[in-house]
């Protein structure tokens, strides 16, 4: 980190209809530093970076780049000044190929400029290789999984050769390996003098990658510290304004009958095979593995989003065929999808309507909606998950990213499922709400819900699961009991090592 | 509730009000009971079609075959009456026939996922040509005496037409707000994939909406046919344009997910009265089409402008980023 101040946001104030998103916020970025920006869901982080990139106009305050004020900021101006950003919500064009998506943000040719296809493909492939992603540049962006899309966005932002690079939760859906690759790239950029603003809810990443950290709370800048001088506890204190317990609220629950059983389940379309797994009422089974191991594909197959062509699904002792989400829901299944940043909520609809969308049958009599109940339910979840919003009737598009996630989760809790599948339940959610969600999971389990939880955060897997199923190469490599599970074992299994081998190694070390 | 959500409907209502005030000043006779009654009766069939079109547009589709379907239904209504089907039975018959025609569109668009603009364009041509081939352009004449006005006489018949249209409007409007199915329509129109993940079945919703559209076409065709003593075989020309225009002027988004039947009512009223209003105000009715076109353009432009307004409320420059 040098002392040269690269970018300054001074007294930025911004209010939306009914919400004060930023109140005289201050932020400073030096050349060659990674500056973390943290705060609870709705604290104003994304708003601040949108103001820096010119996507949003502040009510007052100024942005200075190399000590000269940027007037008439707009995404175009910011781009020309060397500010590049990855937004929290994916912004790829689903119909265009990966190469086209990357090129679109970078090429300087005018409207009539000729497109050099070969060069475009080569350049895109090179940028992807830099972030360690193996993605065919000819594929349509819409077909990619969430983590792949995120890698494409990162690659695109690298190509911008920016002086200021802003990343809004880049690792939210990345695996450990991809995250490490990203950190390597970030460190290279840092030593080349690029200033990086890094937003994340994964506090454990910050000591690894950040030099300084700025905490926002309710739109105000609370403090800027050197990362080496603060610990996790202190950061949480600054963010939330109170202490939070760091332990997982896991409770022993008497297990009931088997609620979900998969026998030799497979789907060539989804790339999974020979899955044997059972989840009992009251049990939380963690599904660990690397990105691409088939965890999301398995969940999608159970939920009828891809069709199984092998094996069977047994729900509370009954064989079922599930061909669509609506059938799955009727069988008492619920699935919080991985790509919910795109399709987890209906942005133009109000909070209440979103929360009840998967329970329309239950919340209506002869098809007529019970608005009073809807309001109560929505208000209840807003309170429990701490959704930051001025009212129930605002469209979900006005919520911050993390608060949208909470609405997506609420929708599935409202269905009162007997089997709940959660794909990365706390991704993008702040620490306070995270432990609230864990508490909710425990509560559901004690009410007899069977929970299958996909998570890339090992502490979460270890902290919440009764058993851990580790996937590798499209099938389940091993299932570990809570007492036998450890970070090393899970990682080794996820990488494709044999269980006996893993245990022998563990013994040898002892 | 915040009025902001209804600003588009409000804009159309203000335009309509201005029109009424203007004719009120230049030609107060416009407000005579007979004239108002004629306007209501003339526009009732179009309103029914526009109600169906609102649903179709809300789910993000379009149906431009309604004019041809209307012609087929009109002729069928006449022929059925001539064949001795009692007038009381004509109503359910035509609703069913219309629904069946709508179901064809619904199958092709909903289940086979073909683009509705192409499917219904093909149907527009197909129904119209089939009708020409069958009728050879002749009109249905010598209708039984009790066909016109359902045999109830002009006054009661007219009243019946207007009352039916209003009942349909009110009940559809209520259903859209209060039924789970109404929710599903908005959800599919806003984000069909998100709706599917939440357990809504977009194919079913789209299919259902096209069936309703067809049923309303059948009803409208019958209510229109009984006003005359013969049934022309070229009825309903340009009806699709009138219906789509009423929906758009009423503030619905052509991309789906946003719009209300109240808006459609205002849109239909505005576009349906403008011609008569011009005549009363002594302006050459030759201008009617041009002014209607101008109103549609104004609606689209104000739509974008109102969006800007919202965007600057929320401080966003691009819709992309509002997500
Ligand atoms: N378009 C909008 N209209 C109205 N309010 C908005 C809009 N965008 C953001 N807000 C509000 O501004 C506040 C700050 O939102 P912002 O997206 O900056 O939060 P964030 O810190 O990025 O949170 P997260 O961690 O959840 O992403 C929130 O209360 C949010 O509801
Ligand atoms: Mg954010």
Model pLDDT for residues A338-376, shown as the tens digit of each residue: 877 778 899 999 999 999 999 998 898 888 999 999 999
C-beta of residue A226 within 8 angstroms of C-beta of residue A28 = no
Answer yes or no: is pLDDT of A8 > 70.
yes
Answer yes or no: is pLDDT of B313 > 70.
no
How do the domains of chain B map onto residue ranges? Answer: 3-24+32-306
Taking an 8 Å cut-off on Cβ atoms, the answer to whether B195 and A363 are in contact is: no
A374 chain-B contacts, CB cut-off 8 A: none
* CA nearest neighbour of A404 among A393, A383, A389: A389
Answer yes or no: is pLDDT of B167 > 90.
yes
Regarding the beta carbon of A388 and ligand 1, being less than 6 Å apart is answered yes
Give the number of other CB atoms < 10 A from CB of residue A31.
Answer: 19
Give the number of other CB atoms < 10 A from CB of residue A225.
Answer: 16
Taking an 8 Å cut-off on Cβ atoms, the answer to whether A56 and B316 are in contact is: yes
| Long-range contacts, stretch B35-38, CB < 8 angstroms, 24+ apart | B35/B276, B35/B280, B37/B158, B37/B162
Distance of CA B309 to the CA centre of its chain: 29
Going by the DSSP 8-state scheme, the letter that residue A362 receives in this structure is T
Query: What whole-number distance in Å separates Cα of residue B41 and Cα of residue B35?
Result: 10
Model pLDDT for residues A114-132, shown as the tens digit of each residue: 677 888 888 899 999 988 8
Query: What whole-number distance in Å separates Cα of residue A454 and Cα of residue A338?
Result: 9
Mean pLDDT for all residues in chain A: 89
User: Torsion angle of alpha carbons B298, B300, B301, B304, nearest 10°?
Assistant: 150
Query: What whole-number distance in Å separates Cα of residue A361 and Cα of residue A344?
Result: 19
The pair of structure tokens assigned to A277 is 């797994």
**What is the arithmetic mean of pLDDT over A200-206?**
91
* CA distances for B106 relative to A73, A184, A366, B61, B195, angstroms: 48, 53, 24, 10, 18
A411 in contact with chain B, both atoms CB, cutoff 8 A: yes
* CA nearest neighbour of A430 among A371, A483, A398, A388: A388
Query: What whole-number distance in Å separates Cα of residue B77 and Cα of residue B236?
Result: 14
Taking an 8 Å cut-off on Cβ atoms, the answer to whether A326 and B181 are in contact is: no
How many A from CA of B244 to the centre of ligand 1?
36
Model pLDDT for residues A147-166, shown as the tens digit of each residue: 888 889 888 888 888 899 99
C-beta of residue B310 within 8 angstroms of C-beta of residue A9 = no
pLDDT at B3: 59
Helix (H, G, I), strand (E, B) or coil at A490: helix
Model pLDDT for residues B279-302, shown as the tens digit of each residue: 888 888 788 888 888 888 888 887
Taking an 8 Å cut-off on Cβ atoms, the answer to whether B191 and A343 are in contact is: yes
* CA distances for B317 relative to A11, A55, B313, B323, angstroms: 21, 6, 10, 12
pLDDT at A509: 64
Strand A475-481 versus strand A419-423 pairing type: unpaired
The DSSP annotation for A192-261 comes to TT-EEEEE-S-GGGHHHH-SEEEEEETTEEEEEEEGGG--HHHHHHHHHSS----S---------SEEEE
Distance of CA A436 to the CA centre of its chain: 17
Estimate the crossing angle of helix B154-178 against helix B202-225, to 10 degrees: 170
Give the number of other CB atoms < 10 A from CB of residue A509.
Answer: 7
Nearest CA in chain A to B175: A368
Query: What whole-number distance in Å separates Cα of residue A144 and Cα of residue B201?
Result: 23
Query: What whole-number distance in Å separates Cα of residue A48 and Cα of residue A67?
Result: 18
Listed by number, the residues of chain A in 12-41 with a beta carbon closer than 8 Å to a beta carbon of chain B are: 14, 16-17
* CA nearest neighbour of A124 among A154, A155, A95: A155
Taking an 8 Å cut-off on Cβ atoms, the answer to whether A347 and B2 are in contact is: no
Query: What whole-number distance in Å separates Cα of residue B161 and Cα of residue B174?
Result: 20
Query: What whole-number distance in Å separates Cα of residue A446 and Cα of residue A439?
Result: 11
Which of B3, B59, B178, B199 is the best residue to mutate to test the A interface, defined by the most A CB atoms within 10 Å of its own CB? B199
How many A from CA of A401 to the centre of ligand 2?
5
Helix (H, G, I), strand (E, B) or coil at A453: strand
Answer yes or no: is pLDDT of B143 > 70.
yes
How many A from CA of A47 to the centre of ligand 1?
6
C-beta of residue A173 within 8 angstroms of C-beta of residue A147 = yes
Q: What is the CA radius of gyration of chain A?
A: 23
Regarding the beta carbon of A402 and ligand 1, being less than 6 Å apart is answered yes
Query: What whole-number distance in Å separates Cα of residue A128 and Cα of residue A134?
Result: 7
Residue A111 pLDDT level (bands cut at 50, 70, 90): low
A364 in contact with chain B, both atoms CB, cutoff 8 A: yes
A93 in contact with chain B, both atoms CB, cutoff 8 A: no
Model pLDDT for residues B241-262, shown as the tens digit of each residue: 999 999 999 999 988 999 999 9
Please name which ligand lies nearest the alpha carbon of A12: 1
* CA nearest neighbour of A102 among A141, A45, A61: A141
A342 chain-B contacts, CB cut-off 8 A: 193-194
Listed by number, the residues of chain B in 173-212 with a beta carbon closer than 8 Å to a beta carbon of chain A are: 178-181, 183-184, 186-187, 190-191, 193-201
pLDDT at B198: 93
| pTM exceeding the 0.90 threshold for the entire prediction | no
Query: What whole-number distance in Å separates Cα of residue A270 and Cα of residue A305?
Result: 10
Nearest CA in chain A to B321: A55
C-beta of residue B163 within 8 angstroms of C-beta of residue B32 = no
C-beta of residue A37 within 8 angstroms of C-beta of residue A214 = yes
The pair of structure tokens assigned to B225 is 């046919």
| Span of A189-193, B76-80, B261-265 with lowest mean pLDDT | A189-193
- Percentage above 90 pLDDT, chain B: 74
Give the number of other CB atoms < 10 A from CB of residue B196.
Answer: 19
Query: What whole-number distance in Å separates Cα of residue A315 and Cα of residue A260?
Result: 5
**What is the arithmetic mean of pLDDT over A294-315?**
94
Going by the DSSP 8-state scheme, the letter that residue A486 receives in this structure is -
pLDDT at B315: 33
pLDDT at A112: 59
Query: What whole-number distance in Å separates Cα of residue A9 and Cα of residue A7?
Result: 7
Nearest CA in chain A to B258: A348
Model pLDDT for residues A422-457, shown as the tens digit of each residue: 999 988 888 888 888 899 899 999 999 999 999 988
The pair of structure tokens assigned to A425 is 């339940």
CATH topology of domain B3-24+32-306: ABC transporter involved in vitamin B12 uptake, BtuC (1.10.3470)
Helix (H, G, I), strand (E, B) or coil at A301: helix
Domains for chain A: give ranges and CATH numbers.
5-240 (3.40.50.300), 258-332+417-509 (3.40.50.300), 345-416 (no CATH)
Q: How many CA atoms lie within 13 A of A52 on its CB side?
A: 31
> Residue A499, exposed/middle/buried by CB under 10 A (0-12, 13-18, 19+)?
middle
Going by the DSSP 8-state scheme, the letter that residue A141 receives in this structure is G
**What is the arithmetic mean of pLDDT over A322-336?**
95
E strands of A337-462, at which residues? 364-365, 368-369, 419-423, 450-454
A329 in contact with chain B, both atoms CB, cutoff 8 A: yes
Query: What whole-number distance in Å separates Cα of residue B181 and Cα of residue B263?
Result: 20
pLDDT at B317: 32
Model pLDDT for residues A392-402, shown as the tens digit of each residue: 889 999 999 88
pLDDT at A316: 92
Nearest CA in chain B to A324: B199
How many A from CA of A38 to the centre of ligand 2?
10
* CA nearest neighbour of B257 among B214, B200, B216, B218: B200
* CA nearest neighbour of A16 among A430, A474, A288, A391: A391
- Percentage above 70 pLDDT, chain A: 96
Helix (H, G, I), strand (E, B) or coil at A173: coil
Taking an 8 Å cut-off on Cβ atoms, the answer to whether A360 and B196 are in contact is: no
Taking an 8 Å cut-off on Cβ atoms, the answer to whether B183 and A353 are in contact is: yes
Percent composition of chain B: helix, strand, coil (DSSP 3-state, to 5): 80, 0, 20
Query: What whole-number distance in Å separates Cα of residue A133 and Cα of residue A145?
Result: 12
């Amino acid at each position: 980190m040098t002392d040269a101040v690269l970018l300054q946001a001074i007294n930025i104030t911004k209010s939306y209809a009914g919400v004060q998103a930023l109140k005289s916020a201050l932020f400073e970025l030096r050349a060659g530093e990674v500056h973390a920006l943290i705060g609870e869901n709705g604290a104003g982080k994304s708003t601040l970076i949108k103001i820096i990139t010119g996507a949003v106009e502040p009510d007052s305050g100024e942005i200075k780049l190399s000590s000269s004020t940027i007037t008439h900021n707009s995404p175009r101006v910011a781009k020309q000044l060397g500010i590049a950003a990855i937004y929290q919500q994916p912004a790829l064009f689903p119909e265009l190929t990966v190469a086209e998506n990357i090129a679109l943000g970078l090429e300087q040719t005018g409207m009539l400029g000729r497109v050099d296809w070969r060069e475009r493909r080569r350049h895109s492939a090179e940028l992807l290789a830099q972030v360690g992603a193996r993605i065919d540049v000819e594929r349509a962006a819409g077909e990619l999984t969430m983590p792949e899309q995120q890698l494409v966005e990162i690659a695109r932002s690298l190509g911008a050769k920016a002086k200021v690079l802003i990343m809004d939760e880049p690792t939210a859906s990345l695996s450990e390996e991809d995250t490490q690759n990203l950190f390597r790239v970030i460190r290279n950029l840092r030593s080349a003098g690029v200033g990086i603003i890094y937003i994340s809810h994964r506090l454990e990443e910050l000591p690894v990658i950040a030099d300084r950290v700025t905490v926002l709370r309710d739109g105000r800048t609370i403090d800027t510290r050197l990362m080496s001088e603060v610990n996790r506890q202190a950061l949480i204190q600054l963010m939330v304004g109170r202490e939070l317990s760091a332990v997982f609220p896991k409770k022993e629950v008497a297990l009931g009958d088997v609620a979900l059983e998969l026998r030799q389940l497979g789907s060539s379309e989804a790339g999974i095979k020979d899955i044997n797994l059972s989840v009992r009422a009251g049990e939380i089974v963690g599904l660990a593995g690397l990105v691409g191991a088939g965890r999301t594909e398995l969940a999608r197959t159970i939920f009828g989003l891809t069709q199984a062509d092998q094996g069977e699904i047994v729900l509370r002792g009954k064989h079922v065929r599930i061909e669509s989400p609506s059938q799955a829901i009727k069988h008492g299944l619920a699935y919080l999808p991985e790509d919910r940043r795109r399709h987890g909520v209906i942005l133009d609809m109000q909070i209440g309507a979103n929360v009840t969308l998967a329970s329309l049958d239950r919340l209506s009599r002869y098809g007529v909606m019970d608005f009073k109940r809807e309001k109560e339910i929505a208000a209840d979840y807003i309170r429990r998950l701490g959704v930051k919003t001025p009212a129930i009737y605002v469209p979900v598009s006005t919520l911050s990213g993390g608060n949208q996630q909470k609405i997506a989760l609420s929708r599935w809790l409202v269905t009162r499922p007997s089997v709940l599948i959660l794909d990365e339940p706390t991704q993008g959610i702040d620490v306070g709400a995270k432990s609230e969600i864990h508490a909710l999971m425990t509560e559901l389990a004690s009410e007899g819900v069977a929970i299958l939880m996909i998570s890339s955060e090992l502490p979460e897997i270890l902290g919440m699961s009764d058993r851990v199923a580790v996937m590798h190469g499209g099938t389940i490599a091993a299932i570990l009991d809570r007492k036998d599970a450890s970070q090393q074992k899970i990682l080794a299994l996820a990488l494709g090592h044999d269980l006996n081998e893993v245990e022998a190694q563990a013994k040898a070390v002892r | 509730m915040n009025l902001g959500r209804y600003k588009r409907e409000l804009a159309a209502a203000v335009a309509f009000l201005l029109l009424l005030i203007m004719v009120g000043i230049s030609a107060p006779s416009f407000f005579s009971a007979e004239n108002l009654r004629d306007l209501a009766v003339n526009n009732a069939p179009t309103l029914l079609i526009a109600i169906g079109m609102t649903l179709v547009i809300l789910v993000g589709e379009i149906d431009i075959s309604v004019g041809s379907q209307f012609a087929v239904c009109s002729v069928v209504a006449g022929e059925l009456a001539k064949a001795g089907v009692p007038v009381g039975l004509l109503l359910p018959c035509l609703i069913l026939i219309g629904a069946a025609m709508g179901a064809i569109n619904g199958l092709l668009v909903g289940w086979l996922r073909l683009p509705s603009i192409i499917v219904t364009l093909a149907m527009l041509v197909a129904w119209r040509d089939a009708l020409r081939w069958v009728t050879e352009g002749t009109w249905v004449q010598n209708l039984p005496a009790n066909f016109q006005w359902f045999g109830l006489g002009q006054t009661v018949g007219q009243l019946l037409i207007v009352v039916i249209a209003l009942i349909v409007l009110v009940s559809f409007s209520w259903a859209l707000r209060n039924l789970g199915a109404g929710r599903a329509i908005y959800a599919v129109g806003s984000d069909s994939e998100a709706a599917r993940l939440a357990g809504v079945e977009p194919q079913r919703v789209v299919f259902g909406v096209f069936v309703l559209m067809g049923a309303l076409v059948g009803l409208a065709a019958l209510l229109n046919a009984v006003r005359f003593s013969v049934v022309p075989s070229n009825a309903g020309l340009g009806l699709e344009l009138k219906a789509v225009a009423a929906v758009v002027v009423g503030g619905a988004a052509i991309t789906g997910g946003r719009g209300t039947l109240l808006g459609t009512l205002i849109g239909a009223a505005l576009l349906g009265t403008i011609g008569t209003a011009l005549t009363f105000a002594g302006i050459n009715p030759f201008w009617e089409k041009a002014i209607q076109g101008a109103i549609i353009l104004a609606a689209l432009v104000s739509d974008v402008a109102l969006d800007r307004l919202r965007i600057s409320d929320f401080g966003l420059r691009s819709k992309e980023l509002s997500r």
